[in-house]
Chains A and B, each alone.
Chain A
């Protein structure tokens, strides 16, 4: 029931918004839809928390600790983003950067995107998971090119092609998976249900699965934005409208990583080796290093934070690859706190670039003086994202690092170099932007305060206190991913 509301609302509101178009109350409908979705997500979470994993809809849906917390996260961040985009988009309209048609398009596509992501999370069918991922890509491609500037179109095209190619690889992997599964489970839909697969994973044919994993890795890895498959990500993030950048790096990457991890579990079960883990660690470490060094030379603010997203996805991937209770726990937590922090950073960044009507960091100055919320929001957000206590990112990085020293001491130096460089690079850029006196060209605006404050408070709380149910969730999730 909850499931239907959860998926239905976003789909319905997508349709409604397509019809409503650019009325005055369109943003409110957008917010309302995602708010209801969020509530449904909460309901679902409580349900799962109370009575354990749910299998519903003729085994079509499967909800366990792992994906339910991502579901809640997704619906929550999409809600806050909707709230943010209300003021942001209004201003974009007033400054004539986009017209009526595109607003309509934006809203309905936004909801469709959420629907796709929720579907990807909740479905039990690995094939449907793939379809949903593809749908998520397609629904955002045209949002990335919303501004119709040459660079925007270029970015969108690259996004489209690269992710399309990647996802095609993932499909091939899925086919191979099915090929292996059908030997054990027989033909038909049963053979692609994750619940069944995970039970028989040890019987699946290892050679096939290790082959399949390569394709799945490349496919979903492209969407996670792992180096060297990451090239679409900075472009898409920097050119799209900021709310989309927020959900892209806050949510889409998470979902892709989720898909990847699900597959890894199967492969590990089948091969019984840790090879998949090693591959993921390699990709993760490479992403951390490349991203953190690329951070040093960024001029465009959104691009910079896109790279930081790559870095953090790298960290999470690395941790999942590392395995073991603490690392996995850290990785799950990292997905959570990163998406909260990064999306709130993007909110502030969006406003900052609106205030100076540019995304060039060299021309953004004196934010704290100009608009304290934006300035402090950005400052604290960056402090959080680089892993300063008492924010949540520190907690996860603390766990991951300490686990790394234990299990892969030789990799720690590289990991650390990455973290240190990223820290220096981000601060080098952000400090002058927030501090100092405001330039004359700076315009004032009504910022969307609620999302930023909400996210930062959550991240802060997660940094110093983790509620019992959450930790229990993570522990069960860790059990699942063993």
Chain B
């Protein structure tokens, strides 16, 4: 197992760690930092993979990641949080240990899922695909367990990170067109949820999504 692979797997571990951190972090700033860190690890690993595999378009995407996920998005969120004055509030969550256990179960499950692919793959990064899938799942789990709109968005973006990581680890990155397109979409999404926060805040005077349950069938 060569150096690049080692570095890559360490980064993968870190990403997984951050994912778990996101899952249980109560404070909103903490979430933001963790998210930024995750982005950073992601971009580094992308660069590393690009270097070892000589897939140069990966540099572009790593830079892209750096700009988007480490700088831009956290910044936007930061600004929003300030505007909305919610940087203080601490989110209540349903009990942490269970969430952790589920998270671990998910990691194992995704490992089990990706094992056949690992056999197939010849890439140095192949072992990290499980982590990627796990990150996606954890992001989804986070969106389920959290009640705050902002944290939900962060979970969503974490999922995106996971996908991105999957792209780099399973295959040496998607074709450039796709990478760019995805980035563009995420950007638009960012603007949209920015707008949304304000709408929600103005209409429900809080960002708790639990309040949004008027549209339902049962009576």
User: A–B direct touch, CB within 8 Å, in complex?
Assistant: yes
**Interface residues in chain A, defined as those with a beta carbon under 8 Å from any beta carbon in chain B:** 125, 127-128, 130-131, 134-135, 138, 141-142, 145, 148-151, 153-158, 160-161, 164-165, 168-169, 171-172, 174-176, 178-179, 182-183, 187-189, 191-192, 205, 207-208, 211, 234-235, 238-239, 294, 297
Contact flag A138-B163 (CB < 8 Å), given A168-B136, A171-B182: no
Question: Is there contact, CB below 8 Å, between A208 and B120?
Answer: yes
Q: Is B167 part of the contact surface with A, judged by Cβ < 8 Å?
A: yes
A-B pairs under 8 A by CB, number: 129
> Could you tell me the distance between the alpha carbons of A176 and B159 in the complex, rounded to whole angstroms?
16
Let me know if B203 and A160 touch, CB within 8 A.
no
| Residue from B143, B176, B177 with most neighbouring chain A CB atoms (10 Å) | B177
B116 to chain A: closest residue by CB = A207
- Say which residue of A175, A189, A191, A239 sits within 8 Å of B170 (CB atoms): A175
Query: Which one of A149, A157, A189 lies within 8 Å of B175 (CB-CB)?
Result: A189
Can you list 29 contacts pairing A with B, beta carbon distance less than 8 Å?
Answer: A127-B174, A127-B175, A127-B181, A131-B178, A131-B181, A131-B184, A131-B185, A138-B185, A150-B204, A150-B212, A151-B214, A153-B196, A153-B199, A153-B203, A154-B212, A156-B196, A157-B200, A157-B209, A160-B193, A160-B196, A161-B156, A171-B182, A172-B166, A175-B174, A187-B172, A188-B175, A189-B176, A207-B116, A297-B217
- CB pair A179–B133 under 8 Å, yes or no, is no
Would you give the shortest CB distance from B175 to chain A, in whole angstroms? 4
CB-defined contacts of A160 to chain B, threshold 8 Å: 192-193, 196
Q: Chain B contacts of A135 at CB under 8 A? A: 185, 188
The B interface is mostly helix, strand or loop, or mixed, namely helix
How far apart are the CA atoms of A169 and B185 in the complex, in Å?
15
Chain A: CB-nearest residue to B185: A134
Contact A172 B175 (CB under 8 A): no
A164 adjacent to B215 (CB under 8 Å): no
- In the assembled complex, the CB of A238 is this many whole angstroms from the nearest CB of chain B, namely 8
Interface secondary structure of A, over-half rule = helix
Q: Does B113 contact A (CB under 8 A)?
A: yes
Q: Is B152 positioned at the interface, with any CB of A under 8 Å from its CB?
A: yes
What is the bound-complex CA distance between A55 and B186, given in angstroms?
29
Which of the residues A138, A165, A189 comes within 8 Å of B143, measured between beta carbons? A165
- In the docked arrangement, what's the CA distance between A118 and B199, Å? 30
**Contact between A157 and B136, CB atoms less than 8 A apart:** no
Q: Is B9 an interface residue (CB 8 A)?
A: no
Question: Residue on A with the closest CB to B218?
Answer: A297
- The reply to whether the CB of B195 lies closer than 8 angstroms to some CB of chain A is yes
Shortest distance from the beta carbon of B60 to any chain A beta carbon, whole Å: 14
Give every chain B residue within 8 A of A235 (Cβ-Cβ): 215
